[in-house]
Amino acid sequence: MSKFQAPKGVSEYFPERSRHFEFVRETLIQSARVSGYELMELPVFEDTELFARGVGESTDVVSKEMYTFEDRGGRSITLRPEGTAGVMRSVIEHNLDRGQLPVKVWYSGQFFRAERPQAGRYRQFYQVGIEAIGLNDPEIDAEVIAVAVMAFEKLGLKDYHTEITSLGDAVTRERYTKDLREYISTLALDESTIARAELNPLRLFDDKRDEIRSMMEKAPVLMDYLTPESAAHFEEVKSTLDQFGITYQVNNRMVRGLDYYTGTAFEFVHHKLGAQSGIGGGGRYDGLMRQLGGSDLSGIGFGLGVDRILLACEAEGIEVPQENSLALFIVPMGESVKGFAVLKAHQLRAHGISVDVAYGDRALKGGMKAADKSGARFALVLGDDEIASGKGELKNMQTGDSVSVTLRTLHEELLKLI
């Protein structure tokens, strides 16, 4: 066993699987880009208070799962457990909400939650997220859902479904939580559950214990309390999704794990991942920006779990295109030509051609084996003869055919071929 191991419960990717990971991540990002979202690059740690206020004290994420520590200046710092609060902080801090609305951004990177690790559930995991901030428009809700679905389709995912719901507006919430609290007060519950329910009564819907689950089955349902405006908004979201040809199931008992959600909320559930089936989720958040000290603007977004989407692709047997492979692998024959080979590789790379070299002392056989393993499309053997004549044989590794090339203009010939 090696002396050092990665910390427990982190995901990490190395070749060849990292190629698949990269392909999944880039496909998700591309879907956001073609829909008008621009990059927001955020810190991985923030003031602890941002998450406590933004994500909510009643959530598992804030109450049990944050990586919080004191920095050298005595400030309480937390590794980001999710992305939305940080985006809001940045939008407020840099006055982006005073410009053109909606502000549409995407982000990607590592997030941290001190959960019990298991397959598909990590302490450091990877998300691609988007947020559209500033307008409360049902068409934007549909767009956000469509960005995710479009990416899943591009990847070729089939074995999943989309769940949507509406959590209503402030009036809906007030009326509903009043009735829900009344219902909960009739239940025989332990102290800590009562405390949890006091912070947010909706939390009891995602309690894993059977007795609480069965008690909550008879609880009032939020969907029945939607105001006419909220109901109309939700109808419009659904009819836009219908127009897009996106299928969904309405789940009127969905509880998102974070407290800021209002209105439209959604989750993508994969069928081959066992317990950690959520490959992404999101929704609208009406009060979040104001809660964090900004203006009273609504927003909507999602977070997609790249680790789980990769697992889902693998479970569905999806083949990853070999897009990242090398164009050329150069095999130098002997010390005398090595310098030339390395310089040639350097010059070709400057022309944007991906090239690698058989380093070390290898015989022709070993060099060609390395070329084969590299996945490069072409191989070029360079010996004293080639250098003297200025010509070489470019071998197509798929067909086995060779063409004669002039070394001085190799970049031009390669650019035509790749």
Which residues would be at the binding site for ligand HAM (CB under 6 A)?
82-84, 113, 115, 121-122, 125, 127, 129, 131, 257-258, 278-283, 301-303, 305, 307-308
Which is closer to ligand HAM, CB of 212 or CB of 258?
258
Whole-number minimum distance, CB 31 to ligand HAM, in Å? Answer: 15
Name the nearest CA neighbour of 79 among 17, 125, 15, 33: 125
Whole-number minimum distance, CB 225 to ligand HAM, in Å? Answer: 22
Residue 260 and residue 285: Cα distance in Å, rounded? Answer: 5
Which is closer to ligand HAM, CB of 28 or CB of 180?
28
The tokens describing 294, both together, are 């900004």
Q: Cα 244 vs. chain centroid, distance in angstroms?
A: 23
Whole-number minimum distance, CB 61 to ligand HAM, in Å? Answer: 7
Whole-number minimum distance, CB 304 to ligand HAM, in Å? Answer: 6
Name the nearest CA neighbour of 128 among 263, 21, 242: 21
Whether a cis peptide bond, with omega within 30° of 0, leads into 139 is no
Name the nearest CA neighbour of 58 among 297, 256, 293, 302: 256
Whole-number minimum distance, CB 113 to ligand HAM, in Å? Answer: 5
Which is closer to ligand HAM, CB of 88 or CB of 394?
88
Name the nearest CA neighbour of 78 among 114, 109, 108: 114
- Residue nearest ligand HAM, Cβ-based: 305
Whole-number minimum distance, CB 15 to ligand HAM, in Å? Answer: 22
The tokens describing 172, both together, are 């809906």
Whole-number minimum distance, CB 82 to ligand HAM, in Å? Answer: 3
Which is closer to ligand HAM, CB of 130 or CB of 330?
130
Answer positive or negative: Cα dihedral of 249, 255, 261, 267.
negative
Question: Rounded to whole angstroms, what are the CA distances from 218 to 184, 186, 212?
Answer: 10, 12, 11
| Burial letters 190-211, b for 16+ CB under 10 A, else e | eeebeebbeeebbbbbbbeeee
Which is closer to ligand HAM, CB of 155 or CB of 337?
155
Whole-number minimum distance, CB 340 to ligand HAM, in Å? Answer: 48
Residue 267 and residue 273: Cα distance in Å, rounded? Answer: 15
Which is closer to ligand HAM, CB of 138 or CB of 301?
301
Which is closer to ligand HAM, CB of 59 or CB of 230?
59
Whole-number minimum distance, CB 165 to ligand HAM, in Å? Answer: 14
The tokens describing 46, both together, are 């923030």
Which is closer to ligand HAM, CB of 279 or CB of 353?
279
Which is closer to ligand HAM, CB of 134 or CB of 282?
282
Residue 409 and residue 396: Cα distance in Å, rounded? Answer: 18
Whole-number minimum distance, CB 104 to ligand HAM, in Å? Answer: 12
Residue 151 and residue 28: Cα distance in Å, rounded? Answer: 5
Question: Rounded to whole angstroms, what are the CA distances from 398 to 87, 244, 344, 352?
Answer: 46, 40, 23, 22
Which is closer to ligand HAM, CB of 127 or CB of 298?
127
Asked if residues 172 and 225 have their Cβ atoms less than 8 Å apart, the reply is yes
